[in-house]
Structures are given as C-alpha cells and as structure tokens.
Structure 1
Amino acid sequence: MPQPDRPVLDTQRHLPSTTRSRDPACGIANPLAHGLAGLGLLLSACVSGVVPQKPDLAMPPAYDVAAQQALPPAELDRWWLLYEDTQLTSLIERAQAQGLDARNALAKLEEAQAVRASALPMFNPDRNLEASAEVRKTEELDDADDGTVVPAGGSTTVIGASRTRTASLTFPVSWELDLFGRRAAVRRQSDADLAAARFEFEGARATLVADVARSLFQARGLAVQLEDARANARIQRELVDLLTRRVERGLAAASEVDRIGADLSQAEAQALDLESQLKAARRSLLVLLGDGLAPVSDLDVSADIGTVPAIPNMLPGDLLARRPDVRQADARLRAAAGNVQLAEKAFFPRLALVPSVGLQAQRGAFDSTTRFWSIGVDLSMPILDRPRLTALLNAESARGQQSVVAYERSVQTAFSEADQALTRLEADRQRVQMLADGEARGRRAYDAALRRFQLGFSDLQVVLDSERVWRTTRTALTGARIDALLRSVQVFQALGGGWPASQTPLPDSR
C-alpha cells in the first residue's frame, strides 16, 4: 500500500519537499552527525590550555608598626570623616559629584557595562527579517523579414509581452545550541571583566579623594608657611625700627640696620613666593573639583594644618579585600582564566538550529501566493584551522600566567606601600613632637635674648642667632606637620580606604 505524502526536512535549510517514499538520507544524517560530534570531542580532548590559578599568598601576620587605636576597618570607607573637617568633607563630595576624574571613571564603567550586556546575546536566536520585491517584463520575439533590425544582423517581431511582479518575506533564524558550556564560560569571563572595570572605577574615585585631601593640606601648609614668612618679616621690621632708634642715639652702627634690612628683604621675597605658590595650589585644587575655570577667590584656604587622626587597626591580609587595585588584579586573573577556557572550547564542534518561515506572492500572467517553512541544522567543526586555534590557546595561556604575576605584584606592592606608610607616619608623629618641643624652646630663647638686648645686656648678634634658630625650628615644625598630614592620607590610601570595600565581599575562589 503506498504511503501518503509527507514533508521531509532538509538539514541544509532548504524548503520542505514532498515525496512518496522514505528518503534514505534521513537514516544517514543522525549517525553522521553523531560521528562528527564524536570526532570533534576526540580531537578537542587532545588540547588543553594552562588555566591560571590565583596563588595562595601567605601574608605577614602584622605590620612592623601597628595602629595606635583599634578603630573598625569600616571607618576606612569614608576615612576623611576622621579628620572632622567640614571643608575637606565638602570638597570631597564636590569632587565625587562633578570632578573630571570621577566623571571619566563613571563613563568607563558604563562602557564596561554595555560591553558586558552585549556578550551573551550572541547565544540567542539570531538573523534578521528579509524582504524583497521585483518587477519583471517579459517579451516574446519572432523572426520577420520586415521586423526590427537587431545588432546580430537579423530581424525580430514582438508577438507578446507580460509583466510579472513578485514579493517575498522571509524570516531565517539561527540558534546555536550550547552543548559544551560556551555560554557559561562567556558569562564568567564577561562578569570578571565587568568586575575589573568596577574596581578600576572605585580605585579612580579613591585616588581622587586622596588627591583632593592632599591638595587641600598642601594648600593649607603653604598658607601656614606664608603666615610664618610674614611673621618673620614683621620681626625683622621690629628689629630695624629698634636699631634705627639706637643708631639715632649713637648706640649702634648704621651697618647693623643694613644687615637686618637685608634679612627683611629676604623675608618679604619669601612671602611673595609663597603667596604665588598658594594661588597655584588653589587653582590645582579647583581643577580636581571640576571647577578649573572658576576664580581662585571662590576657594578659601585657611592657615590651619590640623592634626593626624587615629588610624584603624588592620592586618595585612585585609589588603586582599580592601585594595581596589588588588581586587582588580584578581578580576583580571579570573577573566584570563575564562579566556583560556573559551580558547579551549573553540576546538569543540558548533551545532545550530536554522529554522525559517516565509511568504511569497506573484502577480502577472499567473497569480500565486505561497508560504513555506524549513528547519535544519548547521554543524561546524575545526579541522584544518587547528594550528591557528592551538596558537591562540597558547597565547591565552601565556596571558593567563602574566595575570598571575600581575596579581602577585599587586599584592606585594600593596603590602609594601601600607607597611612603609605606617612606618613613616609613626616617624612623622615622633618628629612633630620633637620639633614642637624645640620650637617652644627656641621661642623662649629668642624672647629672652630680645629683652636683654633692649635692656642693653647683650649685643645684636645674640638676638639674631636666637631668632634664626627659632625661625629654622618653626619652619621645620610646620613642614613636619604638613608631612604628617600628607602621610596620613597616604596611609589611608595604602590601606585601601576611600570606597565601600566593606560592602563588597570577595568572590568565590573557584
């Protein structure tokens, strides 16, 4: 008994056809596909890359210099609040909101998010809707003696003509079946790249915060030094006035007035130089705030250095979670591992479903409307391309080992910077205490020498020597206090402060 007509699907995306008997190719397709897939798995098993693994680094148990107070590590997230400085807090908020570095970092993060969003759709059904239209005129010609002369030398007569209009609408689809975990590998690699971009964003904002604090403290230090220079000039003027009166009474030589006058000119010149440096520092700070075109007068800088706040007590191991550059290197390492896995999966076959539906209409001598559909599979497997894929896999493996080295370097650099900053900050604290005691002693010695000179019990040289010692110590104290403040900013940055690290847990070690 003959079988009824039934559609047979062509695996090469052809239109369905009609047959009266079973196509023997259908019985061959499945074994052939299984055989090709098995061959692909066998060939892919012969290659493997070196997937980078995060090294288990043994961090030191403690720093050489421990913090003096056990503040919670979460205080590092907004470490500038520890200074209890309203101007510093206000400037940092302005920089984070409108600073050029902050805006640029945000744009880079948004770019990374867009790249991440475009990574996975490649595994979704693909292709576009296709449409076409055509108008064709057909003329039937017949030979005739008195017909139209054609270039070939004969003559023809048009005995009939027709016009045909056709239009078609087709929607072909290609959908790759994820049989070997490519989608999951791409997701892991894309997530790691996005995490690295996020930590780069946080690191840029943390650096901006530290730069604003440093610029403000440097400007304040210049303001204090400017006041010291003006105070020194005022002292020199007082000495000039005192010596002038003594010269008028015949108690001192005029050369002594010239000698002090030279010191006065030097002090005034130093004050003028410091004033210009202060204006330049204020301009630099305005650029960090994103207001580089604003007048310098819009930014008021007081001559108040302030004190160094307490430093949170942390362990070296905390740097692995707190430092954004270490977290970024960790994410880059995971992304490199994902790239190696993707390079390995390039040796596996690719299998895709390719369904299609369409509609075609024809108007002319014969009117017809047809609809059609098809479904098939595409199978591709690298055979002759294996040498190139092997080279790419080796390259990704080498890049993965570079990411391991970069991670180790970031961890060692983080510990070195934190340990050095803590050590030098402790030395700065002791230096400030010593110079503060020396400055107080120098001031008392100068006041005593000046009174003795005014009473006529000592000469001018004793006063000048005392004033010079006091001035030198005062200048050193101001510089030490500025250095200590700047060092404290360095410590907070080296410990990984300035971003919400306490709210960002470490990823799985898988």
Structure 2
Amino acid sequence: MKPGIKIIGGLLLAALLPGCMLMGPDYQRPAFSLPAIFSSDDVAAADQAPISAESPWWELYQDPVLNNLVAQALENNTDIKIAVARIEEADAFLREVGAALFPQVDLDAAGSRSRITQRGANPLNGANPIRENYTIRLGASYELDFWGKLRRAKESARAQTMASRYARDTVALSLSGLVVSNYLQLRSLESQITLSEDSLRTRDESLALTRKRLEGGVSSALDVYQAEVASSNLAAQIVELKRLRAVSQHQLAVLTGKLDLSLPAGDISQLPLPPLPPAGLPSNLLEARPDVRQAEQELVAQNANIGVAKAALFPTISLTATYGGESAELSDVLKSAARIWSGGLGLNLPIFNAGRLSARVDQATAQQKQTLAAYEASVRTAFQEVNDALVTVRQNAEREVLLDSSRQAAKKALDISDNRYKSGYSAYIDVLDSQRVYNDAAIAYIQSRQARLIASVDLFKALGGGWQDQY
C-alpha cells in the first residue's frame, strides 16, 4: 500500500475510534420535594363534568373569530418570529459544534513563477534564472476526542437548541393567552356598552316622563335635574367604555400583526365555559410547561459545559496528514515522481497557566449551580401558578353565581320602584337609586363573567396548555 494511502486510512480509522473517557458529570434530573397533587382539587363543579382538554386549548371557547385571531398572532407576531430565528441560530450552532467530531479535509493548490539573481554568491553557471513551482495537496486534520470535550460541547449545544425550541413554545403559549385575554376583555366591554345603552334608553324615557309630569305640575324641577344628571353620567360612562373597547381592539391588532383589524360586535355571555380539570391533578403535569422544559435544558447545557472545561485540563491530541504532488511543470504535478505526503501526530499538554483552566472549571460549576437554582425556582413558581389558577377559577365561579342573584334582585327592585313612582307612591329619587343599583349589579355580573373566563385562560397557561385524560 502506498504511504499516502496508509496515512489517510490511519486518519479515518482514528476518526472511528470511540472516546475512551467522558469528562464531567452525566446529567440527572434533580429531585424536588413537591406535593403529589395540586391543592384545590375540588375545582370541578358539580354542574360541569371534568373533560379532557387537548391542544389547541383556545378552541374550547368555540369562537371562530377568536380562533382566527390566535392563528394570525402565531403566524405574524414579531415575538414569534424572533423566537423562530433563535431556533434557526441554535440549530446552526449545533451543526457547527457537531462538525468538530469529524475530520476536516482541505484542498490546497498553488502555482508560482519567480526569477533569481544571476549576480549572487552562488552563480547559476548558465542555468535558467526563471523558476516555476506548482503544488496540489489534499490535507486532513482530526482532533481525537479522547477526553470527551467535543462530545460534551455537542451535548451542550443540543440542549441549547432544545431550550430555544421550548422558548418558542413559551412565547407561543404566552401570546395565545394574551390574545384570548384581550379578546375576552373586548367582548366584556361590548356587553357592558350594550347594557349601558339599554339603561340609558330607560333613563331617557324616565327623563321624558319626568318632564311631562313637571309640565303637569305633578313633579318638581328637582326630579328633572336629577334625571338629567343620571342620564349624562351614564352617557359619559358609555363614552369611556367605547374608548376602552377601541384600545383593546388596537392591542389585538398589534398582537396579530393586522393593524387594520376590525372586529364585529359580540357578547361575552355567548361564550361557553371551557371544561374544568378533574380533581386530584398530579403535580408532574408541570413537566409539560415549556418554560419548565426550557429551564431544564439550560441546566443540561450548563452541566455539559463542566465536562468541556474539565477536558481542557488534559492533553489535546490531533492527527494531520497531507497527500499531493509538487512539480516545476504543471503537466507533471500529478505524476508519481512528483508525489508528496506527510503525516503527523500532535499533542498539546497544558503545563502552567497560573490556574486559568481550573478557574474555568470553577466558573462552569458555578454557572451550573445558578442554572439549577433557576430551574428549581421555575418549578416552584409553576406549582404556585397552577394552585393560584385553580383557586381563582373556583372562587370566580362562586362569585359569578352570587352576582347573578344580585343582578336579578336589583332588576326586580327597579321594576317595583318604577311602578311605585308611576303610581305616585314613591319619589323619583327611589327610581334613580334603583336604576344605579341595577346598572352597577349588571356591570359587576358581566365583569365577573369576564374574570371567570380569564381565570380559565390562566389555568390553561399554568398547565402548559391543558391536561389529558391519562396523566
């Protein structure tokens, strides 16, 4: 076998040899002392059976307009585009790091033409002073990953890539939750506007009746002025509600990337309540949260970086080889007589660096401890958010029932006071007070409906998008 072929074959064989050692600790998921189930496990209401909620969770609100808004946001939002670009960057970095595990092969070709002096210390004796040289060589180099430095670097890069993907999922979950919450707020404001406009028509009718009674000498001017104040105040409230509705629509326009967004009117009472989780939700559902997964992958990356730093304390072993031809004539450069080759083994052993490499190991270890603490904090925060969401869903459901009773009682009181005023048994101030109480009670009921729906959004987000029948 030719010497050059032997060198290249030996280089390829070395590339296939497995590493003898792998420096640094292997990753093991930390064990946290969390309760087995979440608290408030009695959240499932008696009138609503626990149903499995599967992704996409926002479709459970059964609103085509909302579904379209979330789809547009996930496609056009700038935060999503940034997150996707970061995934592409991480993928490219992973390919770059992984390429170090394979030999690097280069082709080098050169040609030169020069003239040397005829008056130098070494006479040419009639030789041609014009010199030509042509070279073509194939070079290969390979670092033996004897200590696992390159494999640990790839492990870290792979974890960073996974973390970037989970970061994108976190952005998508937060974005969809923000779109749904703003949409629910917009529908709540529309319901409040509709209610207030109905109340304003009632007050205007009462104002017209009071003026007629004043003309007939039955009522006083005080009743008229009081009715005018009540109508003006309610009209001003409607103006403010319309302003808030426009602001909510503008926010949705930015989130969806449709700056000319215009939504048709709707009613929040038409939106169904999403399914509630069953009792005894296990705490391991937190593993489905993308932010928790992202924190864990960041911990995996930092854990692998310790191995990279420790491997740098040991010798770096590399193989090099070249094979090609060199000739004074371009036509002879590929002939056997012009053949050139070389092979080498390199070893770089750090002897004295004033503790610089050891300091890098300490830095990597400290960074791993920081990431571990951040991961633990993310798990604890996620557990708290789920518990808070479960409590909020339950309490808002109870609050809505109570406010509904209050609204119905206020409506009955308004009807009675209006009839008593028309019959001459009550003063007009009683009617105004009943109108105010009913309007406040009805507005509070609509807002409680909004709060209950938004609490369900927070629960979906806290659980990473929902839950399954089988945990």
**Structure 2 length as normaliser, TM-score?**
0.87
**One-letter amino acid matched to 2:59:** L
Match 1:381 to one of 322, 346, 349: 349
Q: Which residue in 2 is equivalent to 1:327?
A: 293
Q: Which residue in 1 is equivalent to 2:380?
A: 412
Contact 1:138 1:161 in 2 (8 A): no
Q: Which residue in 1 is equivalent to 2:266?
A: 302
1:486 equivalent in alignment to 2:447? no
1:121 equivalent in alignment to 2:99? yes
| Displacement of 1:8 | 12
Q: Which residue in 1 is equivalent to 2:184?
A: 217
Distance (whole Å) between structure 2 residues aligned to residue 304 and residue 49 of structure 1: 57
Distance (whole Å) between structure 1 residues aligned to residue 210 and residue 345 of structure 2: 106
1:141 equivalent in alignment to 2:119? yes
Q: Which residue in 2 is equivalent to 1:428?
A: 396
Match 2:50 to one of 70, 82, 92: 70
| Displacement of 1:137 | 1.6
| Displacement of 1:183 | 3.6
Distance (whole Å) between structure 1 residues aligned to residue 29 and residue 286 of structure 2: 12
| Displacement of 1:465 | 1.7
1:250 equivalent in alignment to 2:214? no
Match 2:235 to one of 250, 259, 268: 268
Contact 1:359 1:370 in 2 (8 A): yes
| Displacement of 1:76 | 4.2
Match 1:317 to one of 272, 275, 283: 283
| Displacement of 1:196 | 1.0
| Displacement of 1:311 | 1.8
| Displacement of 1:161 | 5.9
Q: Which residue in 1 is equivalent to 2:363?
A: 395
Q: Look up the SS of the partner of 1:140 in the other structure.
A: coil
Contact 2:109 2:137 in 1 (8 A): yes
**One-letter amino acid matched to 2:420:** R
User: Which structure 2 residues correspond to residues 117-266 of structure 1 after superposition, within 5 A?
Assistant: 117-126=95-104, 128-141=106-119, 162-266=129-233
| Displacement of 1:300 | 2.2
| Displacement of 1:232 | 2.5
Contact 1:51 1:340 in 2 (8 A): no
Distance (whole Å) between structure 1 residues aligned to residue 360 and residue 148 of structure 2: 19
| Displacement of 1:127 | 5.2
Distance (whole Å) between structure 2 residues aligned to residue 124 and residue 116 of structure 1: 14
Contact 2:191 2:446 in 1 (8 A): yes
Cα gap change, 1:112/1:458 in structure 2, threshold over 3 Å: closer, same or farther?
same
| Displacement of 1:394 | 0.2
Q: Which residue in 2 is equivalent to 1:94?
A: 72
Distance (whole Å) between structure 1 residues aligned to residue 82 and residue 213 of structure 2: 65
Gaps of 5+ in 1: 1-5, 14-40, 144-157, 506-510
1:75-106 deviations in whole A, cap 9, x for unaligned? 24322122222222222222222332322222
Q: Which residue in 1 is equivalent to 2:15?
A: none
| Displacement of 1:343 | 1.0
**One-letter amino acid matched to 1:77:** S
Distance (whole Å) between structure 2 residues aligned to residue 56 and residue 411 of structure 1: 11
Distance (whole Å) between structure 2 residues aligned to residue 397 and residue 92 of structure 1: 42
Cα RMSD (Å) of the superposition? 3.1
| Displacement of 1:260 | 1.1
| Displacement of 1:234 | 1.4
Distance (whole Å) between structure 2 residues aligned to residue 200 and residue 142 of structure 1: 71
Q: Which residue in 2 is equivalent to 1:57?
A: 32
Q: Which residue in 1 is equivalent to 2:406?
A: 438
Q: Look up the SS of the partner of 2:338 in the other structure.
A: strand
| Displacement of 1:327 | 1.0
Contact 1:51 1:397 in 2 (8 A): no
Match 2:90 to one of 94, 104, 112: 112
Cα gap change, 1:276/1:142 in structure 2, threshold over 3 Å: closer, same or farther?
closer
**In terms of Rg, which structure is larger?**
1
After alignment, is 302-311 or 217-226 more displaced?
302-311
Identity %: 28
Distance (whole Å) between structure 2 residues aligned to residue 274 and residue 382 of structure 1: 72
**One-letter amino acid matched to 1:118:** E
| Displacement of 1:71 | 2.8
Distance (whole Å) between structure 2 residues aligned to residue 420 and residue 385 of structure 1: 53
**One-letter amino acid matched to 2:67:** T
| Displacement of 1:57 | 1.0
Distance (whole Å) between structure 1 residues aligned to residue 340 and residue 359 of structure 2: 44
Give the number of equivalent residue pairs. Answer: 445
After alignment, is 83-92 or 309-318 more displaced?
309-318
Distance (whole Å) between structure 2 residues aligned to residue 329 and residue 142 of structure 1: 72
| Displacement of 1:130 | 2.1
**One-letter amino acid matched to 2:274:** P
After alignment, is 355-364 or 256-265 more displaced?
355-364
| Displacement of 1:49 | 6.8
Distance (whole Å) between structure 2 residues aligned to residue 393 and residue 137 of structure 1: 55
Q: Which residue in 2 is equivalent to 1:148?
A: none
Q: Which residue in 1 is equivalent to 2:440?
A: 472
| Displacement of 1:274 | 1.2
Contact 1:449 1:462 in 2 (8 A): yes
Cα gap change, 1:122/1:247 in structure 2, threshold over 3 Å: closer, same or farther?
same
Distance (whole Å) between structure 2 residues aligned to residue 206 and residue 115 of structure 1: 26
Q: Look up the SS of the partner of 2:138 in the other structure.
A: strand
| Displacement of 1:50 | 7.5
Contact 1:243 1:257 in 2 (8 A): yes
Distance (whole Å) between structure 2 residues aligned to residue 490 and residue 76 of structure 1: 15
Q: Look up the SS of the partner of 1:60 in the other structure.
A: coil
Q: Look up the SS of the partner of 1:123 in the other structure.
A: coil
Distance (whole Å) between structure 1 residues aligned to residue 410 and residue 382 of structure 2: 41
After alignment, is 126-135 or 213-222 more displaced?
126-135
**One-letter amino acid matched to 1:203:** T
Contact 1:54 1:404 in 2 (8 A): no
Contact 1:418 1:494 in 2 (8 A): yes
Q: Look up the SS of the partner of 2:267 in the other structure.
A: coil
Contact 2:163 2:297 in 1 (8 A): yes
Distance (whole Å) between structure 1 residues aligned to residue 268 and residue 120 of structure 2: 107
| Displacement of 1:308 | 2.5
1:332-377 deviations in whole A, cap 9, x for unaligned? 111111011111111121211111012212149x999722011111
1:295-334 deviations in whole A, cap 9, x for unaligned? x4x3224133424322223624233321111111111111
Distance (whole Å) between structure 2 residues aligned to residue 7 and residue 62 of structure 1: 69
Q: Look up the SS of the partner of 1:141 in the other structure.
A: coil
After alignment, is 111-120 or 241-250 more displaced?
111-120
Q: Look up the SS of the partner of 1:355 in the other structure.
A: strand
